[in-house]
Amino acid sequence: MPAGPGPLVVVLLLSLLLLVAGIHGRLQHEEEEEEEEVQDQEGGSSSFTLPVWAPHVPESGEERREHFRALMAKDMRRMMRQVPELMSKTDMFELPMRSALNIAQVGMYVVVVRIGTPALPYSLALETANEVTWINCRLRRRKGKHPGRPHVPPAATTMSIQVDDDGGGGGGSGGKSKVTKVIMNWYRPAKSSSWRRFRCSQRACMDLPYNTCESPDQNTSCTYYQVMKDSTITSGIYGQEKATVAVSDGTMKKLPGLVIGCSTFEHGGAVNSHDGILSLGNSPSSFGIAAARRFGGRLSFCLLATTSGRNASSYLTFGANPAVQAPGTMETPLLYRDVAYGAHVTGILVGGQPLDIPPEVWDEGPLGNDNPEAGIVLDTGTSITYLVSAVYDPVTAALDSHLAHLPKAEIKGFEYCYNWTFAGDGVDPAHNVTIPSFSIEMAGDARLAADAKSIVVPEVVPGVVCLGFNRISQGPSIIGNVLMQEHIWEIDHMSTVLRFRKDKCINHQQLNRHHKKASSSSSSSSSSSSPPPYPAA
């Protein structure tokens, strides 16, 4: 008879049975607890937590700057992608642009935009540091058609002011005032089927800048009152409109959802020299952001020489612009300075020599806007470059050292002026004058190198030049359009990059192609009353 299991085997079997029973009981207990917790959770009397850690922020200044720039880039890409592209098969559209200096004696650039339904052309001043697009407006319905410019000579079709006096140029002291004839293009909402007025009761109104609604409960028009840095005032009502644009496939398309200020009052500045303002500033209400969202988050503009002829034109482009990607293109991280755009400056050179400027003047902080008075911004609506004293003093001292032997002149609005007739390249051996090189160094090894006519302003009055810089009491400093001229500029929101390079802005194939299409279409269909996409030069 075989022997039975020994005592050790019996003990091991009993231990194994007890262990299995314990595990089963524990699992059953946990399942019951889990069911209880789920029921309690559904009843709202329980909760659970998970740990959350803050993102790591680098300690060094340069790494912190890059860290926060990456965060801003991510946020901008999110914002741009929240609105679907208007035309999936279209890459870009363009608007014609001209310098107003030789047409209306004002240092700004004017863009022709077709607004409303039916679409009518308006000449709007280009402003990269403004968030409100507004047009001279008539609210009451009147008999007759939109005045337009049917009887204005072709050379004046992009301007709202015509100079009748043939006398000298540019203003100054002691001269006769010019007599001007103002030709206004009034926008009339009652005659546009696509105009939609904002009301104070709408949330959209409360989000718009400068609105003067006293209460969100009012069912009255959404009004605004804006005072700009140059003390120009505009006020009126907000509405939503459409623009008609010529896209790169040659067709005309509607650009909807544009916030337009119907301006019933304007005062100061050069309000009589254009039909309104085209805003490109960093704000959801600006034309620039609304259009860029639908065209790849990119916009570019090529600034002609401010003294270019009245028939010369360049362009404002939304979408991918092949002209930007060419040899010599500079790239630097794009900084958002409130509604304006800026770049991080690392230094200024005159005659190839770096100037002694305190580095804190350029320190905007990690977010690019922590120190709102530091750094520099771009503003196409400003002519002269304005610098804070810590920058202005060394810049003007260095430039004046090359011109100090010339007789001084006193011109209101300028500190450094000289009796000298400007030579085209800034070199005049007869008077021992050579305008030195001037460059602004930026992050990413980008360099804005200005030509002589951007460093000095020629013929402020006949026979007088002035340095193209002024002092500003409070920062940030401002690069005006005189220093930006003869460059193509691109603001790339998707990559948060600012690109620029030298360009005369006079040879542009896309614009020329539209001119030819407009000419052929107007000659083949004389019965059409619609003006061409771009005014004839």
326 band by pLDDT with thresholds 50, 70 and 90: confident
| Residues facing 197 on adjacent strands | 239
Rounded-to-integer distance, Cα 429 and Cα 434, Å:
8
At the fourth CATH level, which superfamily is domain 321-516? Acid Proteases (2.40.70.10)
Cα 23 off chain centre by: 68
Q: How much of the chain, in percent, has pLDDT values that exceed 90? A: 47
Query: 33 falls in which pLDDT band (50, 70, 90)?
Result: very low
Running DSSP on this structure, what letter comes out for residue 199?
B
d(CA 446, CA 499): 9
Quote the distance between the C-alpha of residue 302 and its chain's center: 13
* Cα 341 to Cα 362: distance, rounded to the nearest angstrom: 14
Distance between CA 158 and CA 498 in Å, rounded? Answer: 28
Q: Which residue has the tokens 């600012």?
A: 498
Distances (CA, A) of 9 to 2, 4, 14, 18, 64: 16, 10, 9, 14, 68
Please provide the CATH number assigned to the domain covering 84-139+185-293: 2.40.70.10
Give me the pLDDT at residue 230, please: 77
b/e sequence 95-129, b meaning 16+ C-beta within 10 Å: bbbbbbbbbbbbbbbbbbbbbbeebbbbbbbbbbb
> What's the pLDDT score for residue 232?
86
Provide mean pLDDT across the span 481-499: 94
Q: Which residues pair with 471 in a beta bridge?
A: 387
CA 77 to chain centre: 16
What would you report as the CA-atom Rg of the chain, rounded to the nearest whole angstrom?
31
> Is the backbone peptide bond immediately before 476 cis, with ω within 30 degrees of 0?
yes
* Residue ranges of E strands in 416-521: 417-419, 427-428, 433-434, 438-442, 446-450, 456-461, 464-467, 469-472, 477-479, 487-492, 497-502
pLDDT tens, 377-435? 999 988 899 999 999 999 999 999 999 999 999 998 899 999 999 877 889 999 999 99
- Of the candidates 215, 279, 216, 237, the one whose C-alpha atom is nearest the C-alpha of residue 137 is 237
pLDDT digits (tens, 9 = 90+) for 257-288: 999 999 999 887 667 778 999 999 999 999 99
Residues in the chain, total: 537
Residues 51-109 have pLDDT tens digits of 444 455 565 555 655 554 555 554 544 444 444 444 433 456 676 665 544 433 446 78
Please measure the distance between the N-terminal and C-terminal CA atoms of the chain and give it in whole angstroms. 122
Q: Does residue 371 contact residue 365 with C-beta atoms inside 8 Å?
A: yes
Q: Is 497 left (phi over 0), alpha (psi -120 to 50) or beta?
A: beta
Residues carrying CATH 2.40.70.10, the chain = 84-139+185-293, 321-516
Taking the C-alpha atoms of residue 464 and residue 410, their distance in angstroms, rounded to an integer, is 9
Task: Quote the tokens at residue 501.
Answer: 């390079």
Please answer whether residues 321 and 490 qualify as being in contact, where contact means their C-beta atoms are separated by less than 8 angstroms: yes
Query: Would you state the pLDDT for residue 11?
Result: 55
pLDDT band at residue 6, thresholds of 50, 70 and 90? low
Whether the predicted pLDDT of 9 surpasses 80: no
What amino acid occupies position 156?
A
Using the predicted structure, report yes or no on whether residue 44 has a pLDDT greater than 70.
no
Local structure of 419: helix, strand or coil: strand
Strands 345-350 and 353-354: antiparallel
- As beta bridge partners, residue 479 has 378
CB 335 within 8 A of CB 342: yes
Q: Other CB atoms closer than 10 Å to residue 217's CB: what's the count?
A: 8
